Amino acid sequence: MTEARFELIVLGAGPAGLAAAKAAADSGREVLVLDDNPLPGGQIWRGGPDQAPNARARAAFSALQHPRIAYRPGARLFAAPGPGTLLVELPEGGCRLGYGQLILATGARERFLPFPGWTLPGVFGLGGLQALAKGGYPVAGKRIVLAGTGPLLLAVADTLKARGARVLLLAEQAPLGRVARFAAGLVRHPAKLAQAVALKSRLLGIPYRCSSHVLEASGRERLERLRLSWGGEEGFIDCDYLGCAFGLLPNTETGQLLGCTLAAGAVAVDDYQQTSRPGVYAAGEACGIGGVDKAQIEGRIAGLAAAGRPEEARRLFPARAHARDFADRLAEAFRLEPALLRLARPDTLICRCEDVPLQALQSCSSWREAKLLTRCGMGACQGRTCGPMAETLLGFEPRGSRPPLQPVSLETLVSALSPTDPR
Amino acid sequence: MQYDVIIVGGGIIAAALAESLALAGASVLVLEAQNAGAGVSAAGMGHLVVLDDNPAELALARDGLERWQRRRAVLPAGAEYRECGTLWLARDGEELAEAERKQARNRTLGLDCKLLGRAALYAAEPNLAPGFAGGLLRPDEAVLYPPAACSWLLANAQALGARLLEHCPVAELAEGGVRCADGREFRARAVVLAAGTASPELLPGLPLKPRKGQLAITERYPDLVRHQLVELGYIKRAHAATGDSVAFNVQPRATGQILIGSSRENEDTGAELNWPLLGEMLELAGSMLPALRQCRILRAWTGLRPATPDGLPLLGPVPGRTGLWLATGHEGLGITTALSSAALLAAQILGRKPELDPAPYWPQRFHQLSGSALHA
Amino acid sequence: MPEAVIAELPIRLNGETVRVPAGITVAAALALAGQQALRLSVKGAPRGPLCGMGVCFECRVTIDGRRHERACQRLVADQMEILTHD
């Protein structure tokens, strides 16, 4: 096995991770950036430098050329067997890494909620469909409905339209009043307003309906038709793909693995982005959904703080407060409508890995009981998809999953744990 | 109200006992501190196996296996009962000779078994590493999924009138009953302590020690393994080692997953994984079954088995404590012997003659428990 | 607008050789070949990619003999052997 030690390891090569790595490296730290995707950029800049959508993304990617930054894609953290040690699966095998400090920039995933037919091929996540399209998934000429909430809906439509998709409808779950108030509030965030205006103009002609969501997906073997609710009315749309999600969830599993305290479903941090574990920092969506501005600023603060430059970090506090104000407005405007929690029927699957329907969970009194008696959350995704749903729909309290953090091959696990090669 | 029997604990021993007592018409209350079947019962492999190295252990395990076999047709699908058999692997001539001795002993006892030569072994398990000398197959041994079996036993008991209270930890074993942590008191003519590794908390001084073990499970790889595979060196390794040890013990689950064991630790009783020991355990499994090396490990966990100094359970009355009984200390054999332990103890509580000789399992065999009363 | 020249490479998909653009994910290559459903669920229902970012494990396929690989997280490689519904 290979073993190496770094002053600072950054987990995640999205906006927060890249900003953190650059800030620390500019301050003289040697940094290793690990990312489990094949290309850097996180979800927002998925596809790497070649697909960088703007100057800001290109500037962020330049961090990877920094002489003091090493970058490993396809690297999956799977265990933290002791203080200052990580076990990682690299494409070539297992590896044990030591660290002095750690910055968690593990981003977010989409929140899913079950509705009849949501397991049919052709039903994707909203950001999920965007991520797939960026990876070359064919969307040209496809009839696509997008359903979800917040600015992501527009961003995904933009990506898909640029690739030749026929986007039929944007279904925003939030009511018009809240969306309009959010839009009006953007005068405090002029850059965001300009982006929104540009985006909207590129999407002219695509219907954007508020108070709208999917009720049911149907089709034989794959998605063919959707039943939707728009503005209180019901209707059907025939389509090839549905991109559908219910907002974003911070990825907290790594933080939980390291024993970091959570707050409101995110990794809790102090003013300097430090978690409850000394020397372990978190930045970006992992410590609260807020978008790319917040992620980059928090990343810089974390990088500077980890590099021992708190004064410089402090200078970024006002900018962070401004970014967090935007995040708060987002959260308020696009909070989920209660009707979305009542879409599933008794036979609608909650756990897709083990095919566990809602009715099987309704007779359980706790997450533990559900796991033991229905196998919910015991499959390959280790409860990452169904856990939050069971929490939202049934009030269960899923705790962090058992190790390893991701399924890892036996040989990788063994090689990462075996004594160091004397060479 | 006054119950006939209160069972403290909601694991598979408690569940089987509740069912046995309720079947006999007793009024039963089961008090589980957390979720029923979620403690020791959920941590193990669910391997129904008869080990022949100790007559008393053998008698209880054999009776237990036969009871599971008789009820397999009525077990729910979720209990995943599979008669996959146990295949004991001999690595060399010495272990093959041991397999032959084991076969002779088993034959004398009337236990079905079959000696496999090299060719027959590889026909039975094509994915084994080269170099094994042969094996001994116990075809009627089985595996099951203990939490579901436990839940089924409890449901049977409840259908017969037993009452189950979960999330109801008992704080004290009082005279003629128990007092719960929430202040509630329940009274019964008999109280059975069946709380696994937590039993000494209610009865300090019990000769019971938590023995930590680790298991790992893979994603689904159907047909990679067909039998529960155990190395004949297992007993040697597990018993010879005074410190931590690992052994090759691999099981095909009904889901197609492979459950990989096993390890024993004598000192550490924390819930945290022992990563170096897990690495040793998995390396051994990969060396015996090379196809496992590419399989993805989905989860690894630890469990604490309640172990007694002589390896036999504590089943019977607590000397000097009227109406207080023990049903604990099964270490790794609690799943196999749940039904036989329950039948044995239920008969004694109800004043009937048990089918097996109960004396070898009586708590009074330990000096801590003989004569003078234990004080809670 | 002149069409960009896209490099292609051969992969083996369920035993048949197909040529796909370099740099795309396995999930994309499979969809281009008409395979939207990649596996059967434990109760036999067809499933395709969902999250697109390696979280949900719905897009598991066998790649070069290794089962349970996430098609959305792997880029195609020359002569890669992919099995769906394995």
**Using CA atoms in the order B13, B19, B22, B23, what is the torsion angle rounded to 10 degrees?**
-130
Shortest Cα–Cα distance, A22 to chain B (Å): 33
CB A135 within 8 A of CB C31: no
State chain B's mean pLDDT as an integer.
94
Q: Is B299–A382 a contact, with Cβ atoms under 8 angstroms apart? A: yes
Q: Is C32–A37 a contact, with Cβ atoms under 8 angstroms apart? A: no
Rg for chain C (alpha carbons), in Å?
A: 13
- What is the reported pLDDT for B239? 56
Q: Is C40 on the interface with A (CB under 8 A)?
A: no
Give the whole-angstrom CA distance, residue B221 versus residue A7: 40
- The type of residue at A176 is L
B236: number of Cβ within 10 Å: 14
Kindly list the residues from chain B whose CB atom is less than 8 angstroms away from the CB atom of residue C65.
Answer: 294
- What is the reported pLDDT for B300? 96
Strand-strand pairing, A225-230 and A212-218: antiparallel
Q: Please, which residues have CB within 8 angstroms of residue C2's CB and are 6 or more apart in sequence?
A: none
List the one residue out of B69, B49, B17, B30 whose CA is nearest residue B339.
B17
User: Does residue C54 register a pLDDT over 60?
Assistant: yes
User: Does residue B85 register a pLDDT over 70?
Assistant: yes
Kindly list the residues from chain B whose CB atom is less than 8 angstroms away from the CB atom of residue C68.
Answer: 219-220, 296
- What is the reported pLDDT for A191? 85
Closest CB from C21, C36, C57 relative to A136? C21
Strand-strand pairing, C60-63 and C66-70: antiparallel
Distances from the Cα of A361 to the Cαs of A377, A390, A401, B15, in angstroms?
11, 8, 18, 22
* Bridge partners of residue B316, in order along the sequence: B326
- What is the reported pLDDT for A193? 84
- What is the reported pLDDT for B242? 62
Shortest Cα–Cα distance, C18 to chain A (Å): 16
Q: Which of A20-29, A196-205, B296-305 has the lowest mean pLDDT?
A: A196-205
Distances from the Cα of B173 to the Cαs of A269, B20, B176, B180, B188, in angstroms?
45, 22, 8, 9, 11
Chain C CA closest to residue A409: C66
- What is the reported pLDDT for B50? 96
CB A303 within 8 A of CB A27: yes
Kindly list the residues from chain C whose CB atom is less than 8 angstroms away from the CB atom of residue B296.
Answer: 67-68
**Positive or negative, the Cα torsion across A12, A16, A22, A25?**
negative
pLDDT digits (tens, 9 = 90+) for A206-261: 999 999 999 999 999 999 999 999 988 999 999 999 999 999 999 999 999 999 99
Q: Is C68 on the interface with B (CB under 8 A)?
A: yes
User: Does residue A275 register a pLDDT over 90?
Assistant: yes
Kindly list the residues from chain A whose CB atom is less than 8 angstroms away from the CB atom of residue C23.
Answer: 50, 136
Write phi, then psi, for B68 (nearest 5 degrees). -65, -45
Q: Is B297–A407 a contact, with Cβ atoms under 8 angstroms apart? A: yes
- What is the reported pLDDT for A200? 82
What does the pLDDT average to over B19-45?
95
Chain A CA closest to residue B78: A373
List, as one string, the DSSP characters of A307-362.
TT-HHHHHHTHHHHHHHHHHHHHHHHHTPPPGGGGG---TTSEEETTTTEEHHHHH
* Bridge partners of residue C19, in order along the sequence: C10
Percent share of chain A, pLDDT over 90:
88
CB A411 within 8 A of CB A93: yes
Q: Is A7 exposed, middle or buried (0-12, 13-18, 19+ CB in 10 A)?
A: middle
Give the whole-angstrom CA distance, residue B14 versus residue B4: 15
Q: pLDDT band for position C1 (50/70/90)?
A: very low
**Using CA atoms in the order B269, B271, B276, B278, what is the torsion angle rounded to 10 degrees?**
110
Q: Is C46 on the interface with A (CB under 8 A)?
A: yes
- The type of residue at B270 is G
Give me the residues of A, 44-73, that contact C with CB < 8 A: 46, 50
Kindly list the residues from chain C whose CB atom is less than 8 angstroms away from the CB atom of residue B291.
Answer: none
Q: Is B278 on the interface with A (CB under 8 A)?
A: yes
* Bridge partners of residue B301, in order along the sequence: B215
Q: How many CB pairs under 8 A join A and C?
A: 115
Give the whole-angstrom CA distance, residue A388 versus residue A395: 10
Residue with tokens 């088993």: B106
- The type of residue at A353 is C
pLDDT digits (tens, 9 = 90+) for A149-208: 999 999 999 999 999 999 999 999 999 999 999 999 888 888 888 888 888 888 888 999
CB A13 within 8 A of CB A35: yes
Q: pLDDT band for position B112 (50/70/90)?
A: very high
B198: number of Cβ within 10 Å: 23
Look at chain C and count its residues.
86
Q: How many CB pairs under 8 A join A and B?
A: 81
- What is the reported pLDDT for C2? 43
Q: Is B296 on the interface with A (CB under 8 A)?
A: yes
Q: Collapsing DSSP states into helix, strand and coil, what is residue B54? A: coil
Rg for chain A (alpha carbons), in Å?
A: 22
Q: Is C65 on the interface with B (CB under 8 A)?
A: yes
pLDDT digits (tens, 9 = 90+) for A368-392: 999 999 999 999 999 999 999 999 9
Shortest Cα–Cα distance, C10 to chain B (Å): 25
List the one residue out of A149, A168, A411 whose CA is nearest residue B292.
A411
Kindly list the residues from chain A whose CB atom is less than 8 angstroms away from the CB atom of residue C36.
Answer: 121-122, 222
Q: Is A394 exposed, middle or buried (0-12, 13-18, 19+ CB in 10 A)?
A: middle
User: Does residue A423 register a pLDDT over 50?
Assistant: no
List, as one string, the DSSP characters of B275-304.
HHHHHHHHHHHHHHSGGGGGSEEEEEEEEE
Q: Please, which residues have CB within 8 angstroms of residue A66's CB and are 6 or more apart in sequence?
A: A21, A22, A25, A26, A31
Shortest Cα–Cα distance, B73 to chain C (Å): 22
CB A24 within 8 A of CB A303: yes
User: Does residue B290 register a pLDDT over 80?
Assistant: yes
Q: Can the peptide bond before residue B262 be classed as cis, meaning omega within 30 degrees of 0?
A: yes
Give the whole-angstrom CA distance, residue A93 versus residue A8: 22
Q: pLDDT band for position A422 (50/70/90)?
A: very low
Give the whole-angstrom CA distance, residue A96 versus residue A85: 7
Q: Is C67–B255 a contact, with Cβ atoms under 8 angstroms apart? A: no
Closest CB from A129, A130, A354 relative to C42? A354
Chain B CA closest to residue C86: B221
Closest CB from B78, B148, B297 relative to A410? B297
Write phi, then psi, for A331 (nearest 5 degrees). -60, -40
Q: Is C71 on the interface with A (CB under 8 A)?
A: no
* Predicted ipTM of the assembly: 0.95
What does the pLDDT average to over B136-144?
97
